[in-house]
Chain A
Amino acid sequence: GNSVTQMEGPVTLSEEAFLTINCTYTATGYPSLFWYVQYPGEGLQLLLKATKADDKGSNKGFEATYRKETTSFHLEKGSVQVSDSAVYFCALRRAAGNKLTFGGGTRVLVKP
């Protein structure tokens, strides 16, 4: 079946540090890939997405590239801020309209 594996947190960083969160997936066919972010006490917000191999999703300084050869979709940000403290979820969707399969989430804490 489909599955998503993320690096375990928490990840603790200082402000302006470089952030990488690893995400790998297992799926048949060509899934779409997503990163969602969840701030404390809130629901999930879409951060970025990529729908085919070699696509790069980007938003708010975050980037992730769909790597089919390594079945990965790692999230990166060059310079984090305290406001980036949140839980980040990698997810895949196997076909349009299909369900989202999420990883376990990675908590990121950015200290001033």
Chain B
Amino acid sequence: SQQGEEDPQALSIQEGENATMNCSYKTSINNLQWYRQNSGRGLVHLILIRSNEREKHSGRLRVTLDTSKKSSSLLITASRAADTASYFCATDAKIIQGAQKLVFGQGTRLTINP
């Protein structure tokens, strides 16, 4: 079963506007990550936020984490055409012997219109 679920499934905005995507998860986590996938390509890591952090910035990206609500949001400010992609959140899930694995949500398809 998937740990993270993104909302909305698809988002279309005008260039220059801000884009907000949300992720909800079910069980406690140590970390949450966001990835971007351009069409036909592999996933690329964007940002990681730890469970004891509430907000993190990286360039035009802002990620928030609310562990009490088991949710995270990714904000992309001043969007550009090049931001058109699918965005995935990934949470850690415990496996054997203390190891962790990444579990991905279904993703949000973001389209930036010129």
Whether both chains belong to one complex is answered with no
Q: List A residues at the B interface (Cβ < 8 Å).
A: none
Q: List B residues at the A interface (Cβ < 8 Å).
A: none
